[in-house]
């Protein structure tokens, strides 16, 4: 093997290494780029409706919204500890039946479990020309708060 043959072989190996490095860098860039996770302060609870349903009972409808744009969080699991029972309302709303022993302002303490953001990771293997894709769900956040309503 002479010098020029070895030199050509090294150039070919260098090109393969460079292509492999570029593919790896692209895969890492795709994997790392994901959405930022929101903070619990980015949410607030809103009173949608409060109506009496009998002596000492009221139906209270609550909604969790994003503070930044006021849109309802439709996939949150809203709960209240002092409610008798609850039912799902429109998208993002939750109705609770609450005991109200006296008329006047009442406070209902609520919490919500907000699912984490979902991101897709894609990894490309250049040696076999295969794109692997997987969906990853972020950690859920718990948001707590209270709504005040008027009992009659």
Q: What's the CATH number for 34-151?
A: 2.60.40
| pTM across the whole model | 0.62
Residue 16, pLDDT score:
54
The answer to whether 101 touches 56, Cβ cutoff 8 Å, is: yes
Give the residue from 6, 38, 25 showing the smallest Cα distance to 123.
Answer: 25
pLDDT tens-digit series, residues 81-127:
888 878 887 778 999 999 998 989 999 999 999 888 788 888 888 88
Q: Enumerate the domain spans of the chain.
A: 34-151
How is residue 73 annotated by DSSP? -
Give the distance, in angstroms, between the CA of residue 25 and the centroid of all CA atoms in the same chain: 28
């Amino acid at each position: 093997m002479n010098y020029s043959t070895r030199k050509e072989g090294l150039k070919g190996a260098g090109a393969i290494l460079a292509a492999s490095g570029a593919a790896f860098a692209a895969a890492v860039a795709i994997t790392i780029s994901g959405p930022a996770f929101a903070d619990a302060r980015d949410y607030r609870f809103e009173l949608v409706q409060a109506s009496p349903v009998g002596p000492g009972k009221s139906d209270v409808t609550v909604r969790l919204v994003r503070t930044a744009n006021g849109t309802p969080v439709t996939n949150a699991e809203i709960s209240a500890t002092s409610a008798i029972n609850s039912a799902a309302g429109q998208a993002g709303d939750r109705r609770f039946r609450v005991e109200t022993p006296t008329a006047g302002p009442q406070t209902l303490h609520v919490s919500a479990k907000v699912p984490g953001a979902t991101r897709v990771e894609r990894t490309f293997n250049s040696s076999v020309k295969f794109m692997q894709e997987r969906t990853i769900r972020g950690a859920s956040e718990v948001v707590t708060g209270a709504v005040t309503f008027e009992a009659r």
